[in-house]
């Protein structure tokens, strides 16, 4: 493989998905160890599109209701996820979290992609949601985060208020359905391999090497292999 030719990785993700931030960190570790370039593009996926902007309750209550769990079970699940997040350097604050609808956040990511800063905004939004307790359902908060990344705050508000990129969000979701993606994170490598879940870095690294070898030999094909993660979502 020509080292100047990056491997394209398309990632379906949701800002409100705790495994997506964990998976991002694990994938980044794999990409850092890979002897080659990787080009990442994020795509929209809403795990709970019917969630109201202002959910009345905390994260334990949401998870208990969403999955039909007892509150104690939901809390235990969050504690487990939080511990895994800590293991990759993330500091989730479920007590401060504002569970909300993420469609506007996804529109912001498309706005950022059009301006070459999607990866910056993806990191900023995930951190804002899971670590900083910022309310990502509110346009003023999203505009503040965008401005912190160097984007024009007023233009961001204009875009979000007009649903400028809603069609792009829906197109991502339609592509996910075509691929059969029903959970995130989901990583598609060069339209050849699909990897589901926040896998260990070694799994991602192995797929990167496999795809690199196939590209070098000219045998890269259509979406095929899929690896699943047993962790609860």
- In angstroms, what CA-CA distances link 25 with 4, 12, 22, 90, 227? 24, 15, 5, 9, 18
* Tokens matching residue 128: 């804002």
**Which has the minimum average pLDDT: 13-22, 64-73, 163-172, 221-230?**
221-230
- Specify the residue for token string 């993660």: 229
What is the average pLDDT score of the chain? 92
Q: How many other CB atoms sit within 10 Å of the CB of residue 105?
A: 27
Q: What is the pLDDT of residue 221?
A: 54
**Which has the minimum average pLDDT: 141-155, 179-193, 206-220?**
206-220
pTM equals 0.92
Q: What is the pLDDT of residue 81?
A: 98
The answer to whether 54 and 179 are in contact (CB under 8 A) is no
3-state secondary structure of 228: coil
Whether the per-residue pLDDT at 7 is higher than 50: the answer is: yes
Q: How far apart are CA 102 and CA 99, in angstroms?
A: 9
Whether the per-residue pLDDT at 174 is higher than 90: the answer is: yes
CA-based torsion, 168, 187, 109, 3: positive or negative: negative
Instruction: Report pLDDT digits (tens) over 107-139.
Output: 999 999 999 999 999 999 999 999 999 999 999
Q: What is the pLDDT of residue 202?
A: 98
Q: How many other CB atoms sit within 10 Å of the CB of residue 232?
A: 11
Q: How many other CB atoms sit within 10 Å of the CB of residue 143?
A: 22
Nearest Cα residue to 9 out of 227, 173, 178, 188? 188
Q: Give CATH superfamily name and number for 7-227.
A: Glutaredoxin (3.40.30.10)
Which residues, other chains included, contact 57 with Cβ-Cβ below 8 Å and sequence gap of 6+?
Answer: 65, 99
Residue 74: phi, psi to the nearest 5? Answer: -65, -45
Query: What is the pairing mode between strands 186-189 and 193-196?
Result: antiparallel
Q: What is the pLDDT of residue 225?
A: 47
The residue-averaged pLDDT of 25-35 equals 97
Calculate the CA 229 to chain-centre distance. 16
User: How far separated are the first and last CA of the chain, in Å rounded?
Assistant: 36
Residue 11: phi, psi to the nearest 5? Answer: -120, 120
């Amino acid at each position: 493989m020509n080292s100047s030719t990056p491997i394209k990785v398309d990632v379906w993700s949701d800002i409100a998905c705790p495994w997506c931030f964990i998976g991002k960190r694990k994938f980044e570790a794999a990409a850092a160890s890979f002897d080659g370039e990787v080009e990442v593009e994020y795509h929209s996926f809403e795990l709970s599109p019917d969630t109201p902007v202002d959910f009345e309750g905390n994260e334990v209550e949401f998870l208990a209701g969403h999955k039909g769990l007892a509150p104690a079970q939901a809390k235990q699940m969050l504690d487990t996820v939080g511990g895994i997040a800590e293991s990759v350097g993330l500091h989730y604050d479920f007590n401060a979290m504002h569970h909300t609808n993420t469609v506007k956040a996804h529109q912001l990511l498309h706005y950022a992609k059009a301006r070459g800063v999607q990866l910056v905004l993806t990191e900023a939004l995930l951190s804002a949601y899971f670590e900083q307790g910022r309310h990502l359902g509110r346009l003023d908060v999203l505009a503040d985060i965008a401005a912190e990344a160097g984007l024009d705050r007023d233009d961001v508000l204009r875009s979000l208020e007009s649903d400028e990129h809603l069609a792009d969000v829906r197109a991502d979701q339609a592509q996910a359905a075509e691929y059969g993606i029903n959970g995130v994170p989901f990583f598609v490598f060069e339209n050849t391999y699909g990897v589901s879940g926040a896998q260990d870095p070694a799994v991602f690294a192995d797929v990167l090497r496999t795809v690199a070898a196939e590209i070098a030999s000219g045998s890269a094909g259509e979406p095929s292999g899929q690896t699943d993660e047993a962790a609860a979502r």
